[in-house]
Structure formats: structure tokens, C-alpha cells
Chains A and B, each alone.
Chain A
Amino acid sequence: EIVLTQSPGTLSLSPGDRATLSCRASQSLSSTPLAWYQQKPGQAPRLLIHDASSRATGIPDRFSGGGSGTDFTLTISRLEPEDFAVYYCQQYGSSPYTFGQGTKLEIK
């Protein structure tokens, strides 16, 4: 089973800041089968990024993803108030398809 480790656990930033979230896989993912999801309190997760760098439909371009192999990042270029939430990465290159433990992005 591929283990995904997200860092940091909590990120404290202010609106307008740039956020960089990390996701590291325990073994290399062939191609780029990695997605990012955003979850706000009391809501279901929402797909942001798939295939490591492709934005899902309707996702603002301040969200971008990158990386390959074992190291992936989600970048939010300028934080809006609605971006403060928990973010999960997920790999779908090898079953079972696993999630990271999440990064909480909180207002500083």
C-alpha cells in the first residue's frame, strides 16, 4: 500500500499570502496519478486537481498542482478567505487508492 504523507499538518497564513502544501508518496507513482481535494467543515470534499496538475472544472486558476514521482505540491497563489480549509492528496496509481492525512490551512 502506498502511504501519502502531507506536510505541514497545519499551515497558518493570511489572506493574500501564497500557500504551498506538500504530499510525499512512499513509493514512486508512475505517470502522475495524484489528486487534491478541499474540505470545509461540515461539507463533503471537492476535487481541485487531478493528474497532479490539471484543474477540475470550475476551480479558480489561483490553485495549481505540480510534481512527479514521489513529491507533489499544491500551490494557492493568493489566498482568499474561502480557501481556509483542509486539503487532502490522493493517489490512484496503485490499489488501494490512498489519501494523505490532510493539511489544515488556517487563518493567521
Chain B
Amino acid sequence: QVQLVESGGGLVKPGGSLRLSCIVSGLTFSDWYMSWIRQAPGKGLEWVSYINSGSSATNYADSVKGRFTISRDNAKNSLYLQMNSLRVEDTAVYYCVRGHTILGAWGQGIRVTVSS
């Protein structure tokens, strides 16, 4: 079955950086667009970014543009999110997700807390 496993979250001070990783199994990773979706505590879902299968196209929410960078390594079946200049409002559970329109498979999520 499809599995997506995120890692790299934690507590970071405002202005700091974190790199999230997601290892994917159970599908042909290189065939799929991939996304990051986040959910602030007690709030709804927010699309963050997506990348196409060959890494030639990316897209970002305005709230993270210029601060976050999505990337992937198809040889390692891995998706990444480099998060710089983190703000308190970036505090959320971040989900690695298969697809960019229809979000068909989700990881369990990784918590990122931005606090001084």
C-alpha cells in the first residue's frame, strides 16, 4: 500500500529554518506530482506548495513564496520542503501528499512549531 512518511519537524525560533522530508513507497514516485499541505492548530487545511513529477514546475501559496522551497529526488523516492525565515504563523502540522489537484494519499503529518 501507499505510504508517505514525513520527518524533520520540531521547534524553531522565529527567523529560523527547517527542512522537512517525506519518503514515499508503494507507488511509482516519479509518475506523480507531490504537494505539501499544512494545518495550523485547531484550524483548517491550507495548500502550501506543489512540484511536478520532473521538478520542472513548482508553485507556492503567497503566504510562503520566497521563504519556502519544494524539491524532490526521484531516485530516493523523496520529497522535501526547505523552510526559511520561519514565522509564528507557520506553526502547523505539515502533510506530504500525493498529487496536486486530487490529493489521493496523505502522510501522517509532522509538527512544526515556531516560537521564541
Q: Do A and B come from one complex?
A: yes
Which residues of chain A have a CB within 8 Å of any CB of chain B?
33, 35, 37, 43-47, 50-51, 56, 88, 90, 92, 95-102
A-B interface, 9 closest residue pairs, ranked by CB to CB distance from nearest: A92-B101, A44-B106, A99-B45, A50-B102, A101-B44, A102-B44, A97-B47, A47-B104, A88-B45
C-alpha spacing A90/B44, complex, angstroms:
11
Given A33-B101, A44-B95, A98 and B47 contact (CB-CB distance below 8 Å): yes
User: Can you sample 11 A-B contacts with CB below 8 Å?
Assistant: A37-B103, A44-B95, A44-B109, A45-B45, A45-B95, A90-B45, A96-B59, A97-B101, A98-B47, A99-B44, A100-B44
Are A92 and B45 closer than 8 Å at their CB atoms? Answer: no
Query: Once bound together, how far apart are the Cα atoms of A96 and B46, in whole Å?
Result: 10
Closest chain A CB from B98 CB (angstroms): 10
**Number of A-B contacts defined by CB within 8 Å:** 47
Number of interface residues of B (CB under 8 A): 18
Asked if B25 is at the interface of the complex by the 8 Å CB criterion, the answer is no
B61 — nearest CB in chain A belongs to which residue?
A96
Tell me, rounded to whole Å, the shortest Cβ–Cβ distance linking A12 to chain B.
Answer: 20
Q: Are A92 and B102 in contact (CB under 8 A)?
A: yes
| B14 in contact (CB, < 8 A) | no
User: Which residues of chain A come closer than 8 Å to B101, judged between CB atoms?
Assistant: 33, 92, 97
Q: Using Cβ atoms and an 8 Å threshold, which residues of chain A touch B107?
A: 44
A47: chain B residues at CB < 8 Å are 102-105
Please determine whether A97 and B100 come into contact, CB atoms closer than 8 angstroms: yes
Contact B47 A99 (CB under 8 A): yes
Please report the C-alpha to C-alpha distance between residue A99 and residue B46 in the assembled complex, in whole angstroms: 7
Contact of B103 among A35, A51, A95, A100 (CB under 8 A): A35
Residues of A within 8 A of B95 (CB): 44-45
| B18-61 vs A, Cβ < 8 Å mask (1 yes, 0 no) | 00000000000000000000000000111100000000000101
